[in-house]
Amino acid sequence: MDGKRRVFFLGLMSLLVTGCLQTPHIRRANPETGAVTPSSDRTISPSVQENTPARSMKMYLVALDDAGRSGPAIGCGDSLVAVDVPAGNTKAALQELLNQHTMYYRQSGLYSALYQSNLVIGRFEIGEQKTEVNLIGKLVLGGTCDAPRIKEQLIATLRQSTDSVYSVSITVNGIPFDELLSQK
């Protein structure tokens, strides 16, 4: 019986190893539309990262009830925490933030107050002194504490900093962000 188990175990392990060695087919995403199209039938080694932008940017998430221990303190006793994301520019970092539709980012335990919202970037203008953004879609707050969380997440992601005085103007469906939050 011991010999049969050993043969079974070795056979199972060889199947697992063989499955892990296959290389994936490349699919390319259009950075403007997000559409994924297959490339040729060639395969690449998993260590080659053709679709990874040359640099990373920051998106900002919330450490709940952290009282400023992990980053700058924001409303309701939370902290704002930077997370590096593969994005070539500020607009791509903002899009990455808007694409977070789970309450917590991966296994970090960091919260995104935008997870229930369905927003896309409409207009995006970045200058030397100011950034202006119009988001289009539905903004959903999970409670009164989400208003300052969302505001701080968006502003810090657009500034790529929590201590910048760089001017940021955000509208949602053409309505100034602060005005929209006061209505909720």
Pairing relation of β-strands 167-172 and 130-138? parallel
Report which of 55, 52, 76 is spatially closest to residue 66, judged by C-alpha positions.
Answer: 76
pLDDT digits (tens, 9 = 90+) for 89-116: 999 999 999 999 999 999 999 999 999 9
| pTM > 0.75: yes or no | no
The least confident of 13-27, 50-64, 66-80, 157-171 is 13-27
- Tokens at residue 57, please? 């940017």
The better pLDDT of the pair 75, 139 is held by: 139
Place of tokens 């490339």: 39
Report which of 23, 26, 21 is spatially closest to residue 36, judged by C-alpha positions.
Answer: 26
pLDDT digits (tens, 9 = 90+) for 18-62: 444 333 333 333 333 333 333 332 222 233 334 545 689 999 999
Q: Which residues contact 177 (CB under 8 A, 6 or more apart)?
A: 151, 154, 170, 171
Collapsing DSSP states into helix, strand and coil, what is residue 18?
helix
The β-bridge partners of 81 are 61
